Amino acid sequence: MPGKFKAYMETIQKKTGKKPEDFWNLAIEKGFIHQGKIVAKHSDMLTWLKTDVGLGHVQANFMILYFRLRSNDPEVSEQAKKWAYESGYPEYVH
């Protein structure tokens, strides 16, 4: 993924007025995350973020990456983890 994690997050925050924690809580409310783990299909989350939230395709996939990183999802590649941690993700770790 080109660019920096922090820049993607800032762009999404400006576009939506929502912080990462807001997206996390919305995903829980929608039933996509349960007990800190992703329980939904990628395609269902992608559709929600694009249709209901209004994110573009890349931004929606980015937010799903954020969910996967935050939930320690084993599907996140080492390359994606490295990129995220080196380009701003630690600011958003709770």
Q: What is the pTM of this model?
A: 0.93
CB-side neighbour CA atoms (13 Å) of 24: 17
pLDDT digits (tens, 9 = 90+) for 74-86: 989 999 999 999 9
Farthest-apart Cα atoms in the chain, separation: 31
Question: What are the tens digits of pLDDT across the range 44-69?
Answer: 999 999 999 999 999 999 999 999 99
How much of the chain, in percent, has pLDDT values that exceed 70? 97
Q: Mean pLDDT, to the nearest integer, of 35-45?
A: 97
Residue 39 has what pLDDT? Answer: 97
Tell me the pLDDT band of 2, cut-offs 50, 70 and 90: low
DSSP class of residue 35 equals T
Domain ranges of the chain: 5-92
Q: Which residues, 6 or more positions from 27, have their beta carbon under 8 angstroms from its beta carbon?
A: 33, 45, 67
